[in-house]
Structure 1
């Protein structure tokens, strides 16, 4: 009997490390549960701040306690507790992760028992790649954004070399960007993230971290082949080992049903208290009549922007459910002083405002006919799965590219980027909900069907998850440097 046959068949120890942000933690917790269902031993590493929020607002500990070998651990993110961790100020976290979190993380991995056999790290955490290389731990990176956004980030250096970046001043924002393979005919300056408009450290860091994504043991993406296959084919010229396992929330739902477990009675992975009263309100509304409005967990709006959206919604004459998150309008607090009487009256007649909603359930409700969204990737995928057409108003980062693909490539909605005007809002709501409703429903229904098929037995995402689990099982720390 050789040494390989004599080696005990123990489950490898995987450490999962997300960026401390709502969307990243949400999708990586879903991935963690999928891997836990497969029997892997997992440690999930949250920042102290994030873990406290999850303990306060979710059942996350009781949900994972049933998985043998699963453990939560925490680490400082370096920001003071009072830091808002939202808006463009969120980017400050990358500096503190490098200066404060990184050495603590290194020491943690050195002393962790049992040893970590595989690091499954958020693809924007360059510190995780550095530590993995130093300690010789195999790393698989997970980009929680779309494949199209990841590919555009990868191409930043190519755009700079081609003279297409940085965007100079107030030049024509509809100028085509031609140096991103697969996007030559439709990607415009305005479809790139705001940090592409200035040659600074953020642009450099994003580019460098994305290039690192293609150098590990593999690259994991929350997407599916039928949605982003064309872009994925370009990405595989740089990294052939790409695992597409999304949409993760639907994939998890499918695997839980296979194992006779339930998902719908569990709380979302939310940093905010969920207001479920909106579901009762939706129960009273006609089928497909409500526009759901949510700008995610990081968007910050001015009072002027809030009122422009609000007037547009009221003037459209459509029913709406709007998530106005605590902190979304920091300049005047969350009370909303001096609200015009017509907004109060119109909202009372056909609107519902909540501070946070159970979004997956809301989008799956029969009363929802459209989604005005910031185009975060989780929100986009959740809308795709439920066949809900979108109006996209991206805020920052990957959201600009996502919104272009939603409208121009996939035909799943409208792109309203760079505009915040009540008349535009009113027109787009009516275009989505009335004038072009049948057109969009045809496209969204088709894509929703493809999403369901990919996570069922034999589907591309289902098979890729099985392949990922088997590849992780084959790992140990002697695989070399990555």
Structure 2
């Protein structure tokens, strides 16, 4: 089909690594179904991707899969630095202020008959990039929200409003962080298991009703009700009660996931199959060769994602826990992982772990988790990391940092039975003990067994003809291609 006659979809990613990765998987899947795709990043992110993603620049000229950027008002990243620091607060503020108008300008330009591309039929935007509603409402274009967090995470954010109305949030004082208040039971959220307040988003741990992050996720979740439909990066068997609860109060809901697995089933003859990932940091591929030399299931993979920060003390506790466990490990330490300039790990650590440790600044995570040598994953429980671990049948040790990670961890450990949680106040003794239990213990064997079971269910949903592909067809026929 000539690209000029294809149906044009615009995919708008939130400007953070995990959200971009997930949206790219969806965009590639939609492209494989015959759509013309314009993938949009904010300009700050766009410039960083040009530095570190070879596939991004190499394929920026595909005739029917194009990249575009919109102004976010931020200064471009330092060309001379290999570091990329995601200043979340400034990025969110700049996005909210500058992106509504610049996104409207982009859509209007794409719809100009002289643009050389088909008119935009539908916008697929990250559910927390709800600024797209400004443009789609004015131009009368359907706006499908893609929720890159779990259904449990979305539900958590959605019901923050009720926590405020019930007087549970904001906290009365900082004392509530340590006096047992966070153990208050929450058993009234539709579709959700009984949880404690500490299992809900870290953003409720504030004494300020106007706290930026709390309001951002809460407002974003509620803005989804103004969308034409909502896509969840999940599958029905994993989160069925929550999906049913969302279906009763939101626009049409489609569980189409795990997206990282769906994108692996794109036909090899699709031009998009040649597009790799979009990375803010350079991937170190040497780790794959190192893993090739290790025995099956013998390596613990450690990665706290793109946004987590550790104090120097926390980094040392994790480091010595890893060292004392005697386990082989692959540890991703981003340039900005540790707050402060103190040396991360002493020379003694390197000597003790020599031969059984590989430390790098970034790696191809999906490939790492799928490697036979990986026996466990010490993770922050971001939703991308969680789904990639599920899809590889790898059990987890959970140390949630912020946002939706607390509720993800609760479901990983208590509902799906595929993980063990580290206490917030991490100690090397606990880290050592949990690593030994996961890699060698009886509970570890049971956790691994359940992880493999969930992998099989994920594959069943994501393979051609599975539930997620059927839901994708329903979305295309009933929402995207519908005449409005």
Query: What's the TM-score, normalizing by structure 1?
Result: 0.90
Instruction: Give the drift of 1:77.
Output: 2.2
Measure, in 1, the Cα distance between the counterparts of 2:76 and 2:166. 42
The aligned counterpart of 1:456 is 463
Aligned partners of 1:19 and 1:25 also within 8 Å? yes
Quick one: structure 1 residues 417 and 31, their matched pair in 2 at CA, closer, same or farther if it must change by over 3 Å? farther
Q: How does 1:157-176 map to 2 (within 5 A)?
A: 157-168=161-172, 169-170=176-177, 171-172=179-180, 173-176=182-185
Contact (CA 8 Å) 2:202, 2:404: kept in 1 or not? Answer: no
**Residue in structure 1 matching 2:119, options 99, 115, 121:** 115
Q: Paired residue for 2:436? A: 430
Match of residue 287 from structure 2: 278
In the alignment, what sits opposite 1:237?
Answer: 248
Structure 1 position 144 matched with structure 2 position 148: yes
For residues 231-270 of structure 1, what are the structure 2 equivalents within 5 Å?
A: 231-239=242-250, 241-256=252-267, 259=269, 267-270=276-279
Q: For residues 44-443 of structure 1, what are the structure 2 equivalents within 5 Å? A: 44-61=39-56, 64=59, 68-82=63-77, 86=85, 89-113=87-111, 114-168=118-172, 169-170=176-177, 171-172=179-180, 173-185=182-194, 187-198=195-206, 199-202=209-212, 203-239=214-250, 241-256=252-267, 259=269, 267-332=276-341, 336=343, 339-435=345-441, 436-443=443-450
SS where residue 378 of structure 2 aligns?
A: strand
Give secondary structure in 1 for the equivalent of 2:317: helix
Deviation string 1:196-240 (CA, Å, 9 cap, x unpaired) is 122224323322221121231100111111111121111111125
Q: Deviations over 1:414-447 (max 9, x none)?
A: 1225132111111111121122221111110110
CA spacing shift, 1:81–1:329, aligned 2, 3 Å = farther
Question: Unmatched 5+ residue regions in structure 2?
Answer: 112-117
Cα gap change, 1:131 to 1:260, in 2 (>3 Å): closer
d(CA) in 1 for partners of 2:224 and 2:421?
A: 29
Q: CA deviation at 1:387?
A: 0.4
Residue number in structure 1 paired with 2:115: none
Higher relative CO (Cα under 8 Å, sequence separation at least 6) belongs to: 1
8 Å CA contact 1:224, 1:246 repeated in 2: yes
- SS of 1:298's equivalent? coil
CA contact (8 A) 1:45 1:75 kept: yes
How high is the TM-score relative to the length of structure 2? 0.90
Q: Deviations 1:117-138 (Å, cap 9, x if unpaired)?
A: 2111110112112332233221
For the 8 Å contact 1:175–1:188, the answer to whether it is kept is yes
Confirm or deny: 8 A CA contact 1:12 1:475 kept in the other structure.
no
What is the root-mean-square deviation in Å for CA atoms of aligned residues?
2.3
Count of matched residue pairs: 462
**Quick one: distance in 2 between partners of 1:297 and 1:374?**
10
- Quote the offset at 1:11 in angstroms: 2.9
